[in-house]
Structure 1
Amino acid sequence: MARRRSAFGGGIARALLVPAVTVVALPAVGLRRAASAAADRLVPVLASAVLSRLDLDAVAARIDVDALVDRVDIDRVLARTDVAGLARYISAEIDLPDLLRATAGTASSELTHGVRDRSAQADLVVAEAIDRFLHRAERQPGDRAHGPAR
C-alpha cells in the first residue's frame, strides 16, 4: 500500500514532530534551548508554506504607498545620495553639453534676428528724424531707408 503524503509535502509535519519529541524528551533545564531550536526549524518551513500560498499582488494592492512615502526621512535619503554622481549620470544620458549648445544656438539666432529687426527699425526712425530735420518729404512705403527721399 502506497504511503499518503500530507498536504504540505511532509515538511511541516516533520518540522513539527521532531522538535516536539525533542522538547518532551529533555528535562526542564534545556527546554528554552530546545524551543529555540524547534522554532529555528519550524519557522522557515511555515513561512515558506504561507508565502507559497500568498497572492503577493493582492497584498501589494492593499499597501498605501503615499503613507509609506510620508514616513520617509527625505533628508536622510539625500544625505546618502551621491548627488554629484547622479548629476554626471544625467548629464551623460541626455548629452547636456550638446543640448546646451543647440539651445544656445537657437537662442543666439533668435537674438540676432531680434537685434537686426530692432536695428532696421532704429535706422528708419533715425532716417525719418533726419528727413524732418532737413525738411525732406515723407518717405513712402518701399522707399529705401538710407539716402535722400525722392
Structure 2
Amino acid sequence: MNPTSTRTLIGHSYGSTVVATAARNHTLDLDALVGVASPGMRVSSADDLQLPVDGRVYAVTDTSGGKLNPFDGDPIHTISDGILTMRLGGDPTRSGFGAESFAVGDAGGHSLSGYIDPAPGSVAGTNFGYLVTGQFDRLE
C-alpha cells in the first residue's frame, strides 16, 4: 500500500453500524471512518472507536430527513429515548457523540447515490471527493 494514500472507510445506513463495530473491536489503521445516514454505530461516542490518534470520525445525514431513523423509537429496530439508543448506540450526528460533520445538502433521501452524486456543483459529491483524497481541511 502507498504510505501517502488516504485510508477512508465509509459505511452507509446499517453499513455504518458494521464498520463502526469493526473499529470498536479491532484497531483499524484509517485516516477517516464515515457513517452516512447511520442508524447508530453501536458505541456511545467516537472515542470508543479504535483509530489512530489522528484518525477522524465523521457522521453525516442529508437535510431531507430521509435517513433510516431508528431514533424515532421504532420498536422493531431499537428502543429509544431520543438520546440513547439501546441496540445501535446513540445518534452519531448529535454533538455529544464527538463525530465531525460536513455538508451534504439534500441528498434526496436515504439512497447512497444522492450522497456521492458526481454532478458538477453537488455539495455532497464535492465533499466526498475531498474526504477520500485526504483534503479534510477543504470539507464544508
Interval of TM-score (by shorter of Structure 1 and Structure 2): under 0.3
Larger Rg: 1
TM-score normalised according to structure 1 size: 0.17
Larger helix fraction of residues: 1
TM-score normalised according to structure 2 size: 0.18
Higher RCO structure, 1 or 2 (CA under 8 Å, sep 6+): 2
